[in-house]
């Protein structure tokens, strides 16, 4: 009989194997048998823990959301460790969104909703500037974050590495944060122009 600790360890090992396998083959292309082999367990144990491949996918989604939260308040070496460990998460997320299933749509919606709350909390705390359209800000922010993964081959070609890997992801994130923190344009010409276009379109 397995102990509770070893049982939980097996569950995490299966989930991690599924993240990698789903990231490479997609959910439709990955089999429970292959995931079990990768994790070094029996297919029956996968079913025992997750019920089905769909249940395993849902567990992977929850792990992705938890991984996104884990880096919010980390600094220095701790954040570097999270980023280095997140490569399978980034690959899974890219493949899930590219596959375009209903589950991917639900995952994207949850990421946007969570990001909208996070940015709103930042406004309250004073480290995020206010906006007139919090939903649009969250959608665009998430889209910017995911774009390097979805355009992985092209982005990697120009940045010299896989965007799912920590070093390239960190390089891209730093460039993005530089723009988000310090700004890109030296005046508000384009902001005023598109603000007027947006107002006109809403009339």
Residue boundaries of the structural domains of the chain? 4-202
Mean predicted confidence (pLDDT) in 4-9: 56
pLDDT of residue 41: 94
H/E/C letters for each residue in the chain?
A: CCCHHHHHHHHHHHHHHHHHHHHHHHHHHCCHHHHHHHHCCCHHHHHHHHCCHHHHHHHHHHHHHHHHHHCCCCCHHHHHHHHHHCHHHHHHHHHHHHHCCHHHHHHHHHHHHHHHHHHHHHHHHCCCCCCCCHHHHHHHHHHHHHHHHHCHHHHHHHHCCCCCCHHHHHHHHHHHHHHHHHCCCCCCHHHHHHHHHHHHHHC
pLDDT for position 72? 57
Which pLDDT tens digit goes with each residue over 98-155? 887 788 888 899 889 999 999 999 999 999 999 999 999 999 999 998 899 889 899 9
Beta-carbon contacts of 136 under 8 Å, excluding residues fewer than 6 positions away, are none
Q: Let me know: does 97 contact 146? Beta carbons within 8 Å.
A: yes
* pLDDT of 15: 94
Q: Structure tokens of 72?
A: 């919010």
At residue 4 the predicted structure's pLDDT band, cuts being 50, 70 and 90, is very low
The answer to whether the CB of 45 falls within 8 A of the CB of 10 is yes
Q: Which residue has the higher pLDDT, 16 or 78?
A: 16
pLDDT of residue 38 exceeding 90 = yes
Smallest CA-to-CA distance from 119 within 129, 111, 108 is with: 129
pLDDT (tens digit per residue) in 45-95: 999 999 999 999 999 988 888 877 765 554 556 656 666 667 888 888 888
- Predicted structure pTM score: 0.79
Q: CB under 8 Å to 117, separation ≥6 — which residues?
A: none
pLDDT of residue 200: 76
- Bigger pLDDT: 135 vs 198: 135
pLDDT at 71: 55
Return the CATH number of the domain spanning residue range 4-202.
Answer: 1.10.357.10
Confidence band of 203 (pLDDT split at 50, 70, 90): low
């Amino acid at each position: 009989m397995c102990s509770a600790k070893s049982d939980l360890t097996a569950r995490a090992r299966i989930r991690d194997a599924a993240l990698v396998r789903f990231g490479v083959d997609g959910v439709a292309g990955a089999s429970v048998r292959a995931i079990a082999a990768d994790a070094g367990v029996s297919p029956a144990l996968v079913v025992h823990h997750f019920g089905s491949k769909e249940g395993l996918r849902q567990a992977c989604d929850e792990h992705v959301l938890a991984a996104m939260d884990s880096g919010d308040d980390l600094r220095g070496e701790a954040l570097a460790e999270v980023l280095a460990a997140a490569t399978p998460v980034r690959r899974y997320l890219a493949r899930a969104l590219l596959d375009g299933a209903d589950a991917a749509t639900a995952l994207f919606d949850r990421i946007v909703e969570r990001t909208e709350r996070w940015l709103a909390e930042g406004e309250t705390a004073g480290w995020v500037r206010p906006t007139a359209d919090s939903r649009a800000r969250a959608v665009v922010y998430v889209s910017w974050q995911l774009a390097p993964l979805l355009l992985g081959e092209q982005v990697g070609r120009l940045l010299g590495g896989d965007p799912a890997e920590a070093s390239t992801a960190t390089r891209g994130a730093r460039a993005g944060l530089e723009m988000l923190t310090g700004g890109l344009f030296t005046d508000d010409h384009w902001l005023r122009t598109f603000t007027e276009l947006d107002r006109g379109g809403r009339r």
